[in-house]
Structures are given as C-alpha cells and as structure tokens.
Amino acid sequence: MALTQDIVATYRGPSKVMGRFLSQGRNEVRALLFLLLSGLMIFIAASPFQAREAQFDPDGPLSVRLYWSAFLWIFIMPLLMYGFAAAIWAVSRVARINITGFDVRLTLFWSLLATTPVMLLLGLVAGLIGPGIQLQAVGIIWLCIFGWFWGSGLATAQGRNS
C-alpha cells in the first residue's frame, strides 16, 4: 500500500495499520525512512513560520533560518528520537511490559509520520496567523492525535508479543 494510503488508513484505525507493519517483520530501514520523512515534512511545515519570523526580524535572513531549521529537523531530531525511543524501551523493561525496542521505534516513528498532515496545518497556522489561541488549539489537536496513534501502536505491539 502507498505511504499516503497508510497515513489515511491510520486515521481510520491506527491498530490495523500498525499490526500490518509489525507483521511484516523487523525492518530497521523502514523505521529509519519513516523518521527521516517525518523530519523532512516537519521542516516543510516549519518553513512558513520561519518566513514570517524573517519578515518581522530582518537580522536573521530566511536562508539562515531555513538552514538551521533543516539541520535541526533532518539531522538532530532523528538522533533525539532514537534516544527517546531507547528511554521508553528501558522504562518498559522496568515496568515489565513485553515490547521490543524495534516495536517502540516503529510505533513512535510511524506516529510522527502519520501526524504530519496536522503538523503541516500547524505550520500554516503559525506562518499565517502567528502565536495565539489558534496555534495552541492546533498544537493540542496534533498532540492528541499523536498520542492516540502511538498509544494504539504500542498496545498493538504489546498484544502481538504477549
């Protein structure tokens, strides 16, 4: 199935999509691809806000802002996400939850990629409207959807390993 179809299907039933991904076996390349595509999409989503900030503050030109934003989202964020996934896996070991490190990584990275349409909306709101209640509302919506996808994915992974 195409990646965009998987994203749409995740909004209908995240457990089904995650169950299908997990049944395909351990594939670290797929997980890394999900993470790198997430970083690229978040960079694209952050671009309108960077353009807005460059317009209001000419001391930081847009090219410099986009360079550092790309560096953050495409290079630094994947390293931080791997560290976060390792911490979550360690906590799951202490809590005696039966999930593997790959399960944690795949569910986290897929949840991040599947929520990028909302992240794109968040970027548009930040770029066109700016800080305010609208930006906070869309941010809370993104956080709820991300939590739903990740929680469903972890529950599916735990159910498969039990």
Q: Averaged over 132-138, what is the pLDDT?
A: 95
Long-range contacts of 126-129 (CB under 8 A, 24+ apart): 126/46, 126/48, 126/49, 126/52, 127/47, 127/48, 127/49, 127/51, 127/52, 128/48, 128/52
The CA distance from 105 to 32, in Å, is: 9
Tell me what pLDDT residue 70 has. 93
For residue range 20-34, list pLDDT tens digits in order: 998 998 889 999 999
The CA distance from 19 to 25, in Å, is: 10
Tell me what pLDDT residue 140 has. 97
Say whether pTM exceeds 0.85: yes
Residue 72: pLDDT band by 50, 70, 90 thresholds? very high
Residue 158: pLDDT band by 50, 70, 90 thresholds? confident
- Compute the mean pLDDT over every residue in the chain, rounded to the nearest whole number: 92
Q: What is the DSSP string of the chain?
A: --HHHHHHHHHH-HHHHHHHHHHT---HHHHHHHHHHHHHHHHHHHHHHHHHHHHH-TTS-HHHHHHHHHIIIIIIHHHHHHHHHHHHHHHHHHTT----HHHHHHHHHHHHHHTHHHHHHHHHHHHHT-SSHHHHHHHHHHHHHHHHHHHHHHHHHHHHH-
The residue ranges of every structural domain in the chain are 26-161
For residue range 24-66, list pLDDT tens digits in order: 988 899 999 999 999 999 999 999 999 998 988 888 889 999 9
Tell me what pLDDT residue 57 has. 84
